[in-house]
């Protein structure tokens, strides 16, 4: 662990960034729009792949950038911690823009609910700031989605599909994901939903960050 990361840990109480799969993952908030039944934080742990992700306070943009260091040492910078990065959308976009100016490839792992949260279409704001979006679909229909993801806002499933569809106009690579192994979740049906809105699809494995 670098001295830089250690001091950030002291300031925020949890890891701001962690390296995995050759990527740098950013843990910028613990807030969420969902309360996923399979989430580590709702199952007694804030540790993910050896990193303690419970934040005492949210890191500033400069703290996050300091924690990354040289983005050239990573394949991708991924906004993905135990929280939803688009709840800090404009801080995330500022950081993404500064990292991309230094050659980084930026991915947001998101619940796809930013339009619902902000009450408007924010997808144009992603253009030229985000290279890749990975959006949690998690189920082939609204009933299953609500069972597993337990959204705080009504209309979440339809809003995430619309977000994903609109995002394909502004982000070069949009992928929907679903976790294999949740009872009732049909991975092939989830892949069809993704294909229907012009997005890619990736099957995920429970408790594996990616
Ligand atoms: S969106 Fe992610 S961090 Fe938030 S509750 Fe779901 S699994 Fe947990």
Specify the pLDDT at position 173. 98
Q: What would the two tokens of residue 141 be?
A: 């229909």
Q: Could you give the angle at the alpha carbon of 109 between the alpha carbons of 182 and 100, nearest 5°?
A: 160
Specify the pLDDT at position 4. 43
Specify the pLDDT at position 31. 97
Q: How far apart are CA 7 and CA 32, in angstroms?
A: 26
Specify the pLDDT at position 194. 98
Specify the pLDDT at position 13. 86
Specify the pLDDT at position 206. 78
Specify the pLDDT at position 2. 40
Which residue segments constitute the domains of the chain, with CATH numbers given? 3-205 (3.20.20.70)
Q: Are 12 and 57 in contact (CB under 8 A)?
A: yes
- Has this prediction a pTM greater than 0.95? no
Q: What would the two tokens of residue 168 be?
A: 């394909």
10-residue stretch averages of pLDDT, the chain, 210 residues long? 44 90 96 96 90 95 97 97 96 98 98 98 98 98 98 98 98 97 96 98 81
Q: How far apart are CA 165 and CA 58, in angstroms?
A: 30
Specify the pLDDT at position 205. 87
Q: Are 15 and 51 in contact (CB under 8 A)?
A: yes
Specify the pLDDT at position 200. 98
CA 152 to chain centre: 17
- The protein residue whose alpha carbon is closest to atom 6 in ligand 1 is 36
Encode 34-72: b = buried (16+ Cβ within 10 Å), e = exposed.
bebeebebeeeebebeebbbbbeebbeeebbbbbbeebe
The ligand 1 atom nearest the CA atom of 81: 3
Binding-site residues, ligand 1, Cβ < 6 A: 32, 34-36, 39, 41, 82-84, 111
28 CB contacts (<8 Å, ≥6 apart)? 16, 58, 59, 64, 79, 81, 83, 85, 88, 91, 92, 95
Ligand 1 pocket test, pick from 41, 113, 177 with the greatest ligand atom count within 8 Å of Cβ, gives 41
> What does each C-alpha distance from 183 to 139, 144, 150, 201 come to in angstroms?
10, 9, 16, 19
Specify the pLDDT at position 49. 85
């Amino acid at each position: 662990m670098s001295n830089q990361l250690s001091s950030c840990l002291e300031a925020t109480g949890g890891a701001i960034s962690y390296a995995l799969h050759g990527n740098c993952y950013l843990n910028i908030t613990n807030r969420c729009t969902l309360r996923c039944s399979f989430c580590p934080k709702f199952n007694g742990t804030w540790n993910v792949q050896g990193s303690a992700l419970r934040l005492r306070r949210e890191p500033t943009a400069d703290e996050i950038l300091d924690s990354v260091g040289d983005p050239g040492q990573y394949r991708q910078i991924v906004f993905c911690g135990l929280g939803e990065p688009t709840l800090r959308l404009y801080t995330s976009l500022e950081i993404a823009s500064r990292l991309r100016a230094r050659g980084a490839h930026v991915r947001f792992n998101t619940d796809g609910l930013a339009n619902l949260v902000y009450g408007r279409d924010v997808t144009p704001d992603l253009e030229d700031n985000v290279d890749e979006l990975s959006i949690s679909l998690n189920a082939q229909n609204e009933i299953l989605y609500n069972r597993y993801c337990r959204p705080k806002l009504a209309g979440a499933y339809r809003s995430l599909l619309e977000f994903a569809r609109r995002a394909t106009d502004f982000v070069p690579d949009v992928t929907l994901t679903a976790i294999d192994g949740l009872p009732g979740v049909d991975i092939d049906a989830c892949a069809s939903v993704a294909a229907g809105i012009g997005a890619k699809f990736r099957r995920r494995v429970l408790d594996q960050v990616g």
